[in-house]
Amino acid sequence: MIPGPIEFEPEVMDAMCVPTPSHVAPDFIESFGHSLEMMKLVWMCPSGQPFVVAGTGTLAMDIAGSNLIEPGDCAMVISTGYFGHRFANLLRRYGANVTLLTAPVGDIVPLEEIEAALKKKKYKLMTSTHVDTSTAVMNDPKPIGVLGKKYDVLTILDGVCSVAGEEIQQEAWGIDVVLTASQKAIGVPPGLAMLVVSPKAMSVWKNRSQPVGNYYADWENWLPIMDAYLQRKPSYFGTPAVNLILALEKSLQLILKEGMEQRIERHRKVGHAFREGLKSLGLKIIPLNDGAAANTLSAPWFPENVQGSALISGILDEGVIVAGGLLPEIKTSYFRVGHMGMVGKNEVVTTLKAIETSLIKQGLRLENDACLKTALEIL
């Protein structure tokens, strides 16, 4: 139950456990092209340009940053935790002049603060993290897209912990780049960096005055490859992660078979049930209000007088793996539980029960199974 890599569908694992085909084999070309087409449906961005490149979510951030930033460009980073700071460092590496708007732990940056900063100077792009996996804080990308349009600023959404788990309507909301990695709600083992890019962002890239400062990430190299797969033609720049693409095709098929609306609703329900279950165990979560709480993971504080590492190993004794803290300033004060992908009633119940048992071992007095009743009522 860690927030990625998540547990994967057996059908997805089966799809990749085959002898590795050539990257130019006709059936592989079909799988890659089909996956790119399905990405546009999952991202809800029919006119977007999809990219899938072997690498992690950080590569997806790197691809967006290196292709869209030129030295001296102004960029705004809206940070709700660890991954916002990573984006700021990354953009600086490509010569961006970065303005960092950082939310207090557990909160989001208010829209008025973002708009006030946009009024002060002209930015080329702004980034936000949909769900920051270090804090479980969720931003609403929709009004950020509106501000991007109003001030003619490109918007990049780090959707590593949200795509296929939280609602995203990239095109309708006017978000220029939505990026993710395979190992979270997309439901494929780690190793794929994935992005969908708006026509506007592609034209900003085409009109660059200087070459992209990262050879592997350069869209000049990857655009012809993605176009070729979409047109079902062979091509080569760097060898694709062939087996992972086969897994991706299967996972996207399963996601679309469930239906985007149903899938997002299931994650909402699971997230809500899990948070309410935590509350009835007396645990407080990092997000300061329910509107800023993610549905793909939860981040509860350790209760007072409970030793964090003992609580986590007690949960493990019950057969459930959770993750420790990640945000440096509070790292030892909280833990994280992922609930995305194939997660449903069984996982919620088993995990809450494991936390309850471990808390009781730590000396807390709790009403047996009260958290399960709360969660099951919602589910």
Q: How far is the CB of 136 from ligand PMP (least distance, A)?
A: 10
Contact 55, 193 (CB under 8 A): yes
Contact 161, 132 (CB under 8 A): yes
Nearest residue (beta carbon) to ligand PMP:
57
Contact 253, 154 (CB under 8 A): no
d(CA 201, CA 177): 7
Q: How far is the CB of 56 from ligand PMP (least distance, A)?
A: 3
Residue 128 binding ligand PMP, by CB under 6 A? no
Residue 338 binding ligand PMP, by CB under 6 A? no
363 CB burial (10 A radius; 0-12, 13-18, 19+) = exposed
Q: Which of 1, 4, 70, 164 binds ligand PMP (CB under 6 A)?
A: 4
Q: How far is the CB of 180 from ligand PMP (least distance, A)?
A: 8
Residue 325 binding ligand PMP, by CB under 6 A? no
Q: Is 73 left (phi over 0), alpha (psi -120 to 50) or beta?
A: beta
126 phi/psi in degrees, rounded to 5: -135, 145
Site for ligand PMP in 79-108 (CB under 6 A): 83
Q: Which of 33, 57, 187, 338 binds ligand PMP (CB under 6 A)?
A: 57
Stretch touching ligand PMP by CB under 6 A, among 53-61, 70-78, 98-106, 359-367: 53-61
Residue 56 binding ligand PMP, by CB under 6 A? yes
d(CA 73, CA 88): 13
Name 259's bridge partners: none
Q: Which of 31, 67, 128, 129 binds ligand PMP (CB under 6 A)?
A: 129
Stretch touching ligand PMP by CB under 6 A, among 50-58, 113-121, 194-202, 341-349: 50-58
Question: Parallel, antiparallel, or unpaired: how do β-strands 74-79 and 125-129 relate?
Answer: parallel
d(CA 25, CA 16): 15
What radius of gyration, in Å, describes the C-alpha atoms of the chain?
21
Residue 31 binding ligand PMP, by CB under 6 A? no
Of the two residues 129 and 351, which places its CB atom closer to ligand PMP in the complex? 129
Written as six digits, the tokens of 348 are 């919620």
Residue 135 binding ligand PMP, by CB under 6 A? no
Of the two residues 314 and 341, which places its CB atom closer to ligand PMP in the complex? 341
CA dihedral 144, 146, 148, 154 (to 10 degrees): 90
Of the two residues 101 and 352, which places its CB atom closer to ligand PMP in the complex? 101
Q: Which residues bind ligand PMP (CB under 6 A)?
A: 4, 56-58, 83, 129, 132-133, 158, 160-161, 181
